[in-house]
Amino acid sequence: MASGKNAAVVTGSAGGLGAAFAEQLAKDGYSVAVVDIKDGTDTVERIRAAGGTAESFACDMTSPEAVEQLGKDVVTKLGVVDVLVNNAGRYDNCAFADMTYEIWRTAMALNLDGMFLACKAFAPGMRERGWGRIINIASNSTFLAPPGMAQYIASKSGSIGLTRALASELGADGVTVNAIAPGPVKTDQLRHAYARDFAGGDASGFEDFMTAMAQNQSIKRYATPEDVTGLVSFLASETSTMVTGQTIVCDGGWARV
């Protein structure tokens, strides 16, 4: 069965990469559910101003009850869901020696459990209709494994495992499941993390930091969210139908897997 361009859900789309994914999927013809713990009005307004359809849904992706309710609310407001982009995620720098169980659980709760909960909420409808696209946002840190982010790397690596496992189970029903592993992308989260973890609260050196990191890549400029949207567009489309269980690294050629 082919997609009739119904709804697409993008978690964590009030800003950053998620907002860019939401805007791209709206351009591609989907009605977009802008899901975030923060106010998603700006993203919704930009989509509507460009002629697209979007609704904002407030949801804490770490809450099983809230995500179950989200599954019902999206269908009520936007109809059946063709595409789920599991993008909501958090990054904190922390050496393993200083890592508490709470820090570990906070990363797992959003980056991995939240992804599981969203798949539980939206995959059944996709299977029923015999078409669906699940796109999980991982990270190239799984392949580079830099120090100081064990909880992040473990949670993002878990998302790659979940991607492979679900691809095996959902493929027979026409649902593909893939992951995108970006490298550093210029977003507010990374700006805050830079200031907090490396620059004593001062974000003024962020541009230089991004440019310096990009020197590790084959393509020696830093990425913006728009550098990742094309992959989301492709993986959400009909043409990606034989691609499933894959992790596509999008980092200017830093990690080579």
Ligand X SMILES: NC(=O)c1ccc[n+]([C@@H]2O[C@H](COP(=O)([O-])OP(=O)(O)OC[C@H]3O[C@@H](n4cnc5c(N)ncnc54)[C@H](O)[C@@H]3O)[C@@H](O)[C@H]2O)c1
* Catalytic positions, written as ranges: 152
Q: Looking at residues 144 to 183 of the shown chain, list those that interact with ligand X (rule: CB under 6 A).
A: 182
3-state secondary structure of 36: strand
150-170 and 114-129 helices, crossing angle to 10°: 10
Can you tell me the distance from the alpha carbon of 51 to that of 39, in angstroms, rounded to the nearest whole number?
Answer: 21
Rounded (10°) CA dihedral 116, 119, 121, 127: -150
Q: Which of residues 44-73 bind ligand X (CB under 6 A)?
A: 59-62
Q: Is 89 in the site for ligand X (CB under 6 A)?
A: yes
Residue nearer to ligand X on the CB measure, 170 or 255: 255
3-state DSSP assignment of residue 214 = helix
The Cα–Cα gap between 134 and 44 comes to 21
Looking at 87-95, 122-130, 160-168, 200-208, which segment touches ligand X (CB under 6 A)? 87-95
What is the nearest approach in angstroms of ligand X to the Cβ of residue 56? 12
Q: Are 57 and 210 in contact (CB under 8 A)?
A: no
Instruction: Compute the Cα dihedral for 14, 15, 19, 21 and give only its sign.
Output: negative
Using CB under 6 A as the binding rule, the residues of this chain from 187 to 216 that contact ligand X are 187-190
- If binding is defined by CB under 6 A, does position 91 make contact with ligand X? yes
Quick note: the x/- pattern for ligand X over 5-44, rule CB under 6 A, is ------xx-xxxxx-----------------xxx------
Residues 99-128 that bind ligand X (CB under 6 A): 110
Residues that bind ligand X (CB under 6 A): 11-12, 14-18, 36-38, 59-62, 87-91, 110, 137, 139, 182, 184-185, 187-190
